[in-house]
Structure 1
Amino acid sequence: MFPGANAAREDADFVIVGAPLDVSTSFQPGTRFGPDRIRRFARSFEDYDHHTDSRFTDLAVHDHGDIGAWDDARDYLDYLSGVLADVHREDAVPILLGGEHTVTVAGVEAVEPDVFVTVDAHLDLRESYAGNEWSHATVTRHALDVADRAVILGARAGSEAEWERATAGDVTVVPPPAVGDWEPDFGEESVYLSVDIDAADPAFAPGTGTKEPFGLDSRTMRTVLTRVAPAMDGFDVVEVNDQDDGQAATLAAKLLRRAVFDHADR
């Protein structure tokens, strides 16, 4: 159980679901261990948050546990989306713990947002990667099958075709140096927020599958959460693996808590 997620399901305003999918990681696997590591490295955190003057244990968070993954990614996403859609229909915020970034597709399909906001080192706008249309490198393209537009914060890597796709009117890319000054303008739009931990510079989160230097620092990522979380209808943090001493999982767990605190305090 995620520390402090002590609410009963019927009383929950936030429901955590683990999704340890690890089938398309293209460089350094291990995201199957992400949900457990995020929960474990959250154990040392204080319950109280002085920024919002609230306690995590008072915010009606429930941990559903993990949905064990299998090899057929599309079949798994269909099942996972159904679980998350039930949470959304119950007027709670689904919080997804990856797992590879592919699991985000299930979250977006469940929530059906107007805007997909992703904090990511990569554009993830490929049609397929290594012949796989459900690769972790295709997530934002799939999200745009549901959402009207995508905002990619911190991107610094992509193929030539992806950068060309990113010039279309339904995609906004905010490079790492500009993320701290970015201000969202959602109006009445619904929002899904996805955090790929590789958006962080590897100095802050080395335990991830596809590292990209020159990324975001942890404070900037916290700022993004504070600005976007009040508007979010769904949230995930993904691509944490077991290839470090807990830095990536600790950052992911802290960002999850930031999202809950700031959404509850909106």
Structure 2
Amino acid sequence: MGFPGAVAERADADYAVVGAPLDVSTTFQPGTRFGPERIRRFARTFDDYDRRTDHHFSDCAVHDAGDVRAWDDAVDYLEFLGGSLADLRRDDVTPLLLGGEHTVTAAGVRATDPDTLVVLDAHLDLRDEYDGNPWSHAAVTRRALDGDPDDESLSTVGGTADRAIVLGARTGSEAEWERADRDDVTVVPPEEVTDWSPDFNDESVYLSVDVDGADPSVAPGTGTMEPFGLSAREMRDVVRQVAPHAVGFDAVEVNDRDDGQAAALAGKLLKEFVLSHADG
């Protein structure tokens, strides 16, 4: 089943849902391979009509392109996935990527080549590598900024972001916090997210929602839970603010280890993104 309300044909689409069920570098609780299917399933109960924007989601020209089947070679998979997303951008279609582990964001960034990456996340994800793997989900923001450390992979997909804004981050290694001190990274802790407002000017933006940015009480179905996180409403408000500036979106790190709370949140945030983007 496709994402509910994503009824547009590919040729008529302004947005396209793409599942990316990559699940190879999860460091604690695996299961992100089930994320795209669960997000679609737990969005079935949502109403099509949105009172705030006076839009029907089904009128927003959203197409569900299905999943890009994942395989074990993450770099090879990201190259292929990035090419698929770049094809959408060439047709002026905004990609809506459903993970899958957070590593898939690297493909979204490379395909859309934004000026700014905005991430809702509990973790900085600024490691140069994790357990010897530079393409771990724990290094995705670093890869989105600095590219491939070997300068060999993902070369055909596009560029990197000029800066990153990480909203809700509350943990990281000492080296990550040192990397975060550089001018191209802004970290907004959970207690300051409510007062944050974007200042993008004419910059293009890619928005990534790691569901572990939410407090575990809100979204326990994720691989690496981190207490003292964001409320669902705070995440929604960020999505509404950023969406009008965005060239791409993803919701990642949903697994199958809860009763659907994480998937429902991710699906609702995807709808909020589309409705706010279309209204903006």
Q: TM-score range, shorter-chain basis?
A: over 0.9
Range with bigger deviation, 30-39 or 138-147: 138-147
After superposing on structure 2, the runs of 4+ consecutive aligned residues of structure 1 that deviate more than 3 Å are none
1:165-244 matched pairs, under 5 angstroms? 165-244=179-258
AA paired with 2:256? D
In structure 2, what is the Cα distance between the partners aligned to 1:142 and 1:70? Answer: 20
In structure 2, what is the Cα distance between the partners aligned to 1:225 and 1:148? Answer: 20
Give the number of aligned pairs.
Answer: 266
The residue that corresponds to 2:162 in the other structure is 148
Once the two structures are superposed, residues 36-70 of structure 1 have per-residue CA deviations (whole angstroms, 9 ceiling, x without a partner) of 00000000000000010010000000000000100
The residue that corresponds to 1:137 in the other structure is 138
In structure 1, what is the Cα distance between the partners aligned to 2:130 and 2:259? Answer: 29
In structure 2, what is the Cα distance between the partners aligned to 1:66 and 1:36? Answer: 9
In structure 1, what is the Cα distance between the partners aligned to 2:61 and 2:248? Answer: 16
The residue that corresponds to 2:6 in the other structure is 5
Superposition deviation, residue 98 in structure 1 = 0.0
The residue that corresponds to 2:42 in the other structure is 41
Unaligned runs of 5+ in 2: 147-159
The residue that corresponds to 2:96 in the other structure is 95
In structure 2, what is the Cα distance between the partners aligned to 1:227 and 1:106? Answer: 23
* Residues 1:112 and 2:113 aligned together: yes
In structure 1, what is the Cα distance between the partners aligned to 2:180 and 2:4? Answer: 38
Once the two structures are superposed, residues 205-239 of structure 1 have per-residue CA deviations (whole angstroms, 9 ceiling, x without a partner) of 00000000000000000000010001000000000
Q: Secondary structure at the match of 2:124?
A: coil
The residue that corresponds to 2:74 in the other structure is 73
The residue that corresponds to 1:253 in the other structure is 267
AA paired with 2:275? F
AA paired with 1:163? W
TM-score normalised according to structure 1 size: 1.00
Q: Secondary structure at the match of 2:266?
A: helix
The residue that corresponds to 2:28 in the other structure is 27
The residue that corresponds to 2:153 in the other structure is none
Q: Secondary structure at the match of 1:138?
A: helix
AA paired with 1:198? D
Once the two structures are superposed, residues 11-46 of structure 1 have per-residue CA deviations (whole angstroms, 9 ceiling, x without a partner) of 100001000000000000000000000000000000
Superposition deviation, residue 99 in structure 1 = 0.1
Q: Secondary structure at the match of 1:84?
A: helix
AA paired with 1:216? L
The residue that corresponds to 2:156 in the other structure is none
In structure 2, what is the Cα distance between the partners aligned to 1:147 and 1:31? Answer: 25
In structure 1, what is the Cα distance between the partners aligned to 2:162 and 2:103? Answer: 19
In structure 1, what is the Cα distance between the partners aligned to 2:36 and 2:267? Answer: 10
Superposition deviation, residue 92 in structure 1 = 1.0
Unaligned runs of 5+ in 1: none
The residue that corresponds to 2:150 in the other structure is none
Once the two structures are superposed, residues 135-176 of structure 1 have per-residue CA deviations (whole angstroms, 9 ceiling, x without a partner) of 000010011131110000000010000001100000000000
In structure 2, what is the Cα distance between the partners aligned to 1:162 and 1:128? Answer: 11
In structure 2, what is the Cα distance between the partners aligned to 1:180 and 1:5? Answer: 31
1:50-65 matched pairs, under 5 angstroms? 50-65=51-66
In structure 2, what is the Cα distance between the partners aligned to 1:108 and 1:148? Answer: 11
